[in-house]
Structure 1
Amino acid sequence: MQAICSGVLAYLLVLLFFGRKEMKAERLQKRMAAINSGGSDSLNEESTDVSFFDRILKPFVNRIIVGISKLIPKTPKNLQKINARLRLAGIHMKDSEYQAMVILVTLSCGALGGFYGLWMGQPPKQIILFVLYGILAGYILNRFKLESAITRRKEAMASQLPELLDLLSVSMEAGLGFDQAVQYVTKNNEGPLAEELAVALREMTLGKSRKDALRSLAQRCEVEEVKTFVGVVVQADEYGFSLKDILRAQADTVRMAHKQEVKEKSMKIPIKILFPLVLFIFPALFIVLLGPSVLSIMKMFTEI
């Protein structure tokens, strides 16, 4: 258990040094905004405000990750699978760099577990066991972090879909075409689904057909509601139906399904609350209520 805790600590430390790739994009946007608004003075002021972590530690860890990524054997099938998972999680990293980060975190957890065993003065067999525990903890935490990010992003896309469908329908009723409506919606909205729609719009701009771009969108998102939306739009486009009416009906259907899902989750809450109540709250409550009575009874029996 101590080795697992050490592995968790090592994982958090490495993540602290590595951060996320999105921070680099945000920093670049801030620099561009500074150039547009304040010129070189604001840029120099920003460069002096960069922390030691961003200037030295984070680039150092990034260079280590890039170096490890060059040593990893690459197979097209494996890289394609990792790319799909990273894209689904919204993590903007190369597949090889992500593999290198996983290896670095896992080895760091194992090393920290070994150091902990040495610090505790354990025998060699126990130290090896601590190392294995740390490696296992690092791998599990990496996998859990990725799957959690995928789940959160899917839920965000499913919850954002009804609003975007309403905006698409209203935009088309105002006289815009489908592509122009998608452009308007993606320009004025943020979120994972808006980002994926922007990618699909960019693909259509580069010459990809609407049907293929939307099907690629459904394949990237892996959300049933989005797949249904894409199927309806593609079918309406093929048969020449009015998209604005179909989008309005689709928005109502998706919203109703989302409400039912939320209601289902809310009905499960009392059952989920029951376990912490039984395990933690009821014992403490019994101690507070019955404790004085039990002590009085024990005192009475000892006096007899």
Structure 2
Amino acid sequence: MTIALVLVIVITAAGLGLLSYLVIAGPDPTRSRALGNLTRGLADRAGAGRQQGGLSRGLSPGAVGTRWVPQGELRLLDRLLSEAGRPAAWPLERVVAVKLWSTVIAIVLMLLYVVQAPTGRTVVLGFLMVALVYAAPEIRLYGIGVERRETMGRELADILDQMSIAVEAGLGFEAALVRVSQNSDGVLSGELRRTVQDMQVGQPRREAYLALGERTKVPTLRRFIRTIIQAEESGLALTEVLRTQAAEMRLVRRQTAEEKAQRIPVKVIFPLVFCIMPIVFIVILGPVALNIIDAFR
């Protein structure tokens, strides 16, 4: 038992050390992005599919542990990273390495826990802990993606107002898009700048707009993109379209805020019943109960 305990401690310490190294001294994200920009498109010209392009750019040839992760899992992580805005400090290979070594450490701790108390309950709790640690990166990235989509949805109305003013001042739609993306800050402005860069390097406008909707996955933005594409194909004036869309987005934002406000009473019920009301009962009925007990003595 002592030798097994020492072995478990050594393995855990080694895993923690390697995990710290991967997090602190991992590949330089700036260098990885520069290499990805230089090699972008080479795989497509060689005949590789577009679906694997983003994944191959996110992984270096010597990425740690990627061979032990299924391709479906890698594609899921790559998609979640894209929805989360691809944080510069967390490229795909680092997320995979942290995921694997965190799972290894969780398995070691689970075995240590089960050895000390070998019951069915400890085994179930141990497996649940390992499963939670294994799924933690996906859960965190999904949460970041949801927050990012909500932020872009709130910013859309203001962006459309600025674009409407720019178009009314005489700029074309693409020039207004460039002006607004350069003069605005926020998550949506960054995505608009990327769309402008895609069009500047030769991507057709329709494909660039559709790629924007696919990256962001914001329903209101996707609806606006479809409206703009239809207006351009039909030859309609974009000024009125932008004004109408901006008013609609402000209405959607107000309705969303009202919906969240209506949820507050329901969310307050559980803290009120389980946290506040017991304290109130103790403060009010406690002295009465003590007096009754003293009276019957």
Q: State the TM-score, normalizing by the size of structure 2.
A: 0.73
Pick from 81, 86, 102 the counterpart of residue 105 of structure 1. Answer: 102
Deviations 1:46-97 (A, max 9, x none): xxxxxxxxxxxxxxxxx9x93223x33553x654443222111123455454
Q: Is the 8 A contact 2:95 2:137 kept in 1?
A: no
Q: Which has the higher contact order (CA 8 A, sep 6+)?
A: 1
Could you list the runs of 5+ residues in structure 2 that have no partner in the other structure? 1-14, 34-59
Superposed, 1:133-282 pairs within 5 Å as 133-282=128-277
Relative distance call for 1:290 and 1:126 in structure 2 (3 A) is closer
SS at match of 1:199: helix
Could you list the runs of 5+ residues in structure 1 that have no partner in the other structure? 1-9, 29-62
1:104 deviation in Å? 2.1
1:109 deviation in Å? 2.8
Counterpart position of 1:290: 285
Relative distance call for 1:133 and 1:149 in structure 2 (3 A) is same
Superposed, 1:57-96 pairs within 5 Å as 66-69=63-66, 71-72=67-68, 75=71, 79-92=74-87, 93-96=90-93
Deviations 1:242-268 (A, max 9, x none): 112211110110110110110011011
Number of aligned residue pairs: give it. 249
Superposed, 1:36-51 pairs within 5 Å as none
Q: Is the 8 A contact 2:224 2:245 kept in 1?
A: yes
Pick from 9, 18, 26 the counterpart of residue 23 of structure 2. Answer: 18
Identity level (%)? 28
Q: Kindly provide the amino acid, as one letter, of the partner of residue 96 in structure 2.
A: Q
Q: Is the 8 A contact 1:218 1:227 kept in 2?
A: yes
Deviations 1:12-32 (A, max 9, x none): xx699837x9x956xx9xxxx
Bigger mean CA offset, 94-103 vs 176-185? 94-103
Relative distance call for 1:126 and 1:231 in structure 2 (3 A) is closer
Q: Is the 8 A contact 1:109 1:138 kept in 2?
A: yes
Deviations 1:138-165 (A, max 9, x none): 1343332122111101101100100111
SS at match of 1:67: coil
1:192 deviation in Å? 1.9
Q: State the TM-score, normalizing by the size of structure 1.
A: 0.72
Higher helix share: 1
